[in-house]
Amino acid sequence: MSRRLFACFRGKKPSSSTSKPVSGNNSAAVSADVPAGDGPVLVQLFSSQGCKTSPAAEMLMSRLGRGDFDAQIRGGEDGGSGSPAMVLVFHVDYWDYKGWKDPYGSSQWTVRQKAYVEALNLDTMFTPQLVVQGRSQLNENEEETLLKSISEAPRFPSPAFKASFQRPTSETLQVSLTGALRMKVDGDGLDIMVALYETGLVTDCERGENEGRMLSNDYVVRKMEKMCTVKDVTAKKSVSGTAHFTLWDGFNSSKCGVAVFLQNSSLHIFGTQSFKLPDEI
């Protein structure tokens, strides 16, 4: 399913909702396991519930995220330190006109996909589109091709961040990170991105190309912020920052996680790390 790219799809930035204080400041701190070797490769899927061919790609991402292909990516070796891939799914909004408004679609993710279309010298926007480590893309739900792309992608050390989580209000979440990047950053700089994603989403699609289907979506990015930009940083120097998220109705921490990754101005991905949200948050 493809669509010729003629313009940038942009929307108004959503306004912040009025915050109400929560009795008691909920907070928790966790440390993610840092792989001893290379960190995970980030696989981004641009998808839509309004696209007939997206559900198959979503299923592939669910399997990739839960580790079904880890041994194949490692060349047949079972085990290893950490998962070789990290998955994020961005639902775009430009298929909403076909009769079904994707409840997770966002113009922000459409703009991100457009940036990759330009960076990778493509002339179309389409779903499903897979972008591996920000450097290559696939436009087919071909398992073997994807796994080969992941195994051949450049890999970088995972940051050694420790994360703390706070709920200043019932509608907000703060994610604070502190730790070394474990890689040197030059004067061109890198952005530290923090994404809040949700798994286990099930939608009864009532209209559009997937009418009558029960759609299952995992690793769906609900919010993403740039925590900070770092320049001229050594691999061992500690870096700190906080990302602030406005939460959605029905937020359930047990279904959510946080993905952290470094990207440059061309949206190439470097170190990646992920955290599960604490149950008590």
Residues 10/122, Cβ–Cβ less than 8 Å? no
DSSP 163: E
CA distance 262 to 191: 6
Residue 147: phi and psi, rounded to 5, are -65, -35
Residue 100: phi and psi, rounded to 5, are -130, 120
Residues 217/203, Cβ–Cβ less than 8 Å? yes
* Most distant CA atoms of the chain, gap in Å: 53
Per-residue pLDDT of the chain (281 residues; tens, 9 = 90+): 443 332 222 233 333 333 333 333 555 545 444 444 579 999 999 999 999 999 999 999 999 999 999 999 988 655 556 789 999 999 999 999 999 999 999 999 999 999 999 999 998 899 999 999 999 999 767 899 999 999 999 999 999 999 999 999 999 999 999 999 999 999 999 999 999 999 999 999 999 899 999 999 999 999 999 999 999 999 999 999 999 999 999 999 999 999 999 999 999 999 999 999 988 88
Residues 48/92, Cβ–Cβ less than 8 Å? yes
With 0.85 as the threshold, say if the pTM is over it.
yes
Domain boundaries, the chain: 39-276
Candidates 2.60.120.620, 2.60.40.10, 3.30.70.270, 1.10.150.20; CATH matching 39-276: 2.60.40.10
CA distance 209 to 54: 10
- Nearest C-alpha neighbor of 224 from the set 251, 199, 260: 260
